[in-house]
Amino acid sequence: MNIKVAIYCRLSEEDRNKECETDDSGSIQNQKAMLLGYANEQGWELYDIYSDDDYTGSDRRRPEFNRLIDDARNRRFDIVLCKTQSRFTRELELVEKYIHGLFPIWGIRFVSIVDNADTANKGNKKSRQINGLVNEWYLEDMSDNIRSVLTSRRQNGFHIGAFALYGYKKDPCQKGHLIIDEEAAAVVREVFTLFAQGYGKTAIARMLNDRGIPNPTEYKRLHGLRYRQPKMKNSALWKYFAISDMLTNEIYIGNMVQGRYGSVSYKTKQNKPRPRSEWYIVEGTHEPIIDRGLWDRVQAMIAGRAKPFSDGTIGLFAKKVRCANCGYTMRSSKNKGKHYLRCSNRHVAKDACIGSFISVDRLEAMVIAELNRLSEEYLDRDALAQNIGFAANLQERRNRLIADLAVYEKRMEEYSKGIGDIYMDKVRGIISESDFIDLTKGFTADKERLARAMQEGKKQLAGLDTRIAAGDNRGELVRQYTNPEHLTREMVEIFIDYISVNKRIQGTRDVPVEIHWNF
């Protein structure tokens, strides 16, 4: 009976001498030649050669390794032959599972030439176990060293990923630096512009798919990048989450953002999300694709969470109109083909609100009329007086924000102290565990609400500081949109902070409206 042997080869680093991705590396070829020669000397019949190139010894997803295991389970050969035990695996767990566990049950002998491991020789089992332990230590030390180097490079703003973010490519002249890929960058700019104009994320994805534009993973594949992706139906199509991730990625404004995901262990490829506080963010490391003004508008719209209509577009005044009586954000409704804005708070309880109501068309006409009036006024107004009024107005808003933040901070301290006092009462046995949980729920909810308010206030303060430093640009903005016939969502985002709508004056068709501009 002929003894059948399965040869397994592995190389953990990419061979730079490969002519194309389907070629075996020189090292793999040398392993094959060595093992084939040894098998011939022993008179063994070759069953198959299993070769994993560019895989580490701790990667359990190696395709040829798993094919070898499947064939071994089905007893299709008698011997597994490797150059060294570490070529088969560097994990002590897998040494015990397969070499010392399942292979003997399946009637399969394991042989490695260089380190003289042979399961037919019962006397060297301890040697094989020691080899496995040494390989395990090697993996752990190597992982720590690699992590230390990568952390240092991330902290210094060097890109260390295998692939550049869609819209960029690796700089061939400077390792760790990104340069713009104009073909993909044009799509990125279009996505941001469409969203700023009021299109929803799903609608944008549909528009790109209708035009046959490949999504980022398909784009990499088409450009010859060795990007591994799962075989899924419609894997070349844009989806909601791809647009959503793109719109919030700071790399597009020139900041290097890395470390958003971290590995669970050096033994697995599994990653898990990390909190933003643990990310590595370095500003100004490369040329931005998206200018800061467009970026800020998009982030403000995302924060507003305006819900798109059925056709994928965002309402013209979504999240921008408030009831003058209760401050409630007015919502869109549709009747006989026309859109209206109404305060839904009046339905909560009797006399809860006056119920402000206005048609979108009428509000648009009022905003355009006021915008045209302002354009004439700004074009004729003395620049010095303009700057003085502008600065005073923004400074006043800044002072109010600072005062509000101080109040929030004081109340946060009070809530923290309150939680601490209740905890001490629990420790002393004054209150029970269940009472402690009930009492702290309200404190915790209020504290979280205040934390969100503080975060939003700080964002507004940063925006005001930027505008104060930049000076008065109202005239320049208004000139860009002189005498428009219709408003766009982009214009609303640029010009309007919010609009306050009152109840219609009884006996008339007049609805008092107060527009709060972004300038």
Stronger pLDDT, 441 or 289, i.e. the higher one: 289
Stronger pLDDT, 483 or 238, i.e. the higher one: 238
- For 1-39, write each residue's pLDDT tens digit: 689 999 999 886 544 344 444 444 557 788 888 899 889
At 81 the pLDDT is 93
Query: Considering the domain 168-303, what is its CATH architecture?
Result: Alpha-Beta Complex (3.90)
C-beta atoms surrounding 275 within 10 Å: 7
Q: Is 117 helix (H, G, I), strand (E, B) or coil?
A: strand
Find the helix or strand (DSSP H, E) in which 9 lies.
strand 4-11
Residue 341 has pLDDT above 80, yes or no: yes
Is 249 in contact with 192 (CB distance < 8 Å)?
A: no
Is 420 in contact with 412 (CB distance < 8 Å)?
A: no
How far does CA 44 lie from the centroid of its chain? Answer: 53
Q: Is 278 helix (H, G, I), strand (E, B) or coil?
A: helix
| E strand intervals along 126-276 | 168-170, 178-180, 256-258, 261-263, 271-273
Segment 347-376 mean pLDDT:
76
Among all chains, which residue has been given the structure tokens 């809860």? Answer: 352
How far is it, in rounded angstroms, from Cα 193 to Cα 199? 9
Lowest mean pLDDT among 97-106, 217-226, 344-353: 344-353
Among 161, 206, 211, residue whose Cα is nearest residue 186: 211
- Indicate the residue type of 238: W
Sign of the Cα torsion 218, 222, 225, 226 reads positive
Is 324 in contact with 345 (CB distance < 8 Å)?
A: no
Find the helix or strand (DSSP H, E) in which 66 lies.
helix 63-73
How far is it, in rounded angstroms, from Cα 8 to Cα 57? 12
Stronger pLDDT, 30 or 473, i.e. the higher one: 30
Is 254 in contact with 287 (CB distance < 8 Å)?
A: yes
Residue 356 has pLDDT above 60, yes or no: yes
How far is it, in rounded angstroms, from Cα 502 to Cα 356? 5
Fold topology of 4-153: Rossmann fold (3.40.50)
Quote the tokens at residue 119: 């399961």
Residue 416 has pLDDT above 60, yes or no: yes
CA dist 190 → 196, 205, 233, 289 (Å): 10, 11, 26, 11
Residue 206 has pLDDT above 50, yes or no: yes
Stronger pLDDT, 451 or 166, i.e. the higher one: 166
At 240 the pLDDT is 83
Domain borders along the chain are 4-153, 168-303, 321-517
HSE on the CB side for 365, CA within 13 Å? 5
For every residue of 371-429, DSSP letters joined together read HHHHHHHHHHS-HHHHHHHHHHHHHHHHHHHHHHHHHHHHHHHHHHHHHHHHHHHHHTT
At 274 the pLDDT is 76
Lowest mean pLDDT among 98-102, 304-308, 339-343: 304-308
Stronger pLDDT, 344 or 29, i.e. the higher one: 29
At 454 the pLDDT is 78
At 389 the pLDDT is 43
Sign of the Cα torsion 356, 362, 364, 367 reads negative
At 331 the pLDDT is 80
At 60 the pLDDT is 82
